[in-house]
Amino acid sequence: MWPEITHVLRDTLHDHRRALGWWALGLSLYTLSVLAVYPAFKDDPSLNEVMRSLPDALKALFGEDYTSPAGYVGGKLLSLMPVLLSLYAGLTGAGLIAGAERRGHLEFPLATPLSRTGLLAGRTLALLVLLLALGGTLFAATWVGGALFQAPLNAAHLLTTVTLHTLGAWVFGALALAAGAATGQPGLASGLGVGLGIFSMVLYSLGAQVPALSAVEGLNPWKYALALNALKEQVSLMPAVVALLVGVLLVAAAAPLFSRRDVSV
């Protein structure tokens, strides 16, 4: 089984190298452009007063402190990463099985002795590697940009925060992959992955105003990634481990359906 998985992993990463490269470039440029503006904000406490006047839902998402490096990076940059990472994870996850099936690209791999379980496992691992590579890009761009633009950050705290973001997105990418493998419908799969990823971010921001939502916010992977104190103090990586396991379980639950259903080739 492992040789099958590594073969699929290698081929999938090769096929997605250009798309990943463009995403990494765009993410790096966006990160550097946001950080380049920080010197204009760091000595202006009036901006913090403006942020404190916002509704609680927005303050929960964007924070209240734009003068410190951690407050600015957390509120101005990383607060929007759930949207971008959910887009990448959901679209990529949906494309790995359901999208490939719709385009007729599963015909060759399924005509070989490669098992469907090996194919699904290899593409699942590829999705995780692609997300980790994009998360590594985000970490590097933020760390370098912080050093260049007077916003130095603690490397360990930043790495923890980026890991929580990356594996939060993994849950929704794995959901898209699982839905696509189970149904063969790329539109449904990407809608679930991207839509629920962004919707969960909205639910997190509303938790500050809606008690019923705050009671279940521990189930939301973005709660741990968007906690602004993660850039200021060391926090547990256990939520990231849980998110990793949840994603694996989602794909594992879809594996029997993928193995049994008629695949359009």
Q: Whole-number mean pLDDT of the chain?
A: 87
Residues 232-241, mean pLDDT to the nearest whole number: 87
Residue 215: count of CB within 10 angstroms of its CB: 10
Amino acid at 19: A
Q: What is the pLDDT of residue 55?
A: 64
Inform me whether the pLDDT recorded for 188 exceeds 80: yes
Q: What is the pLDDT of residue 225?
A: 87
**Cα atoms in the Cβ-side hemisphere of radius 13 Å centred on 21:** 6
Q: What is the pLDDT of residue 105?
A: 81
Measured at the CA of 148, the angle between CA 145 and CA 150, to 5 degrees, comes to 100
Lookup: tokens for 100: 């490939």
Q: What's the Rg (C-alpha) of the chain?
A: 20
- Reported confidence tier of residue 255, pLDDT bands at 50, 70, 90: very high
pTM of the model: 0.91
24 vs 66 pLDDT, higher one: 24
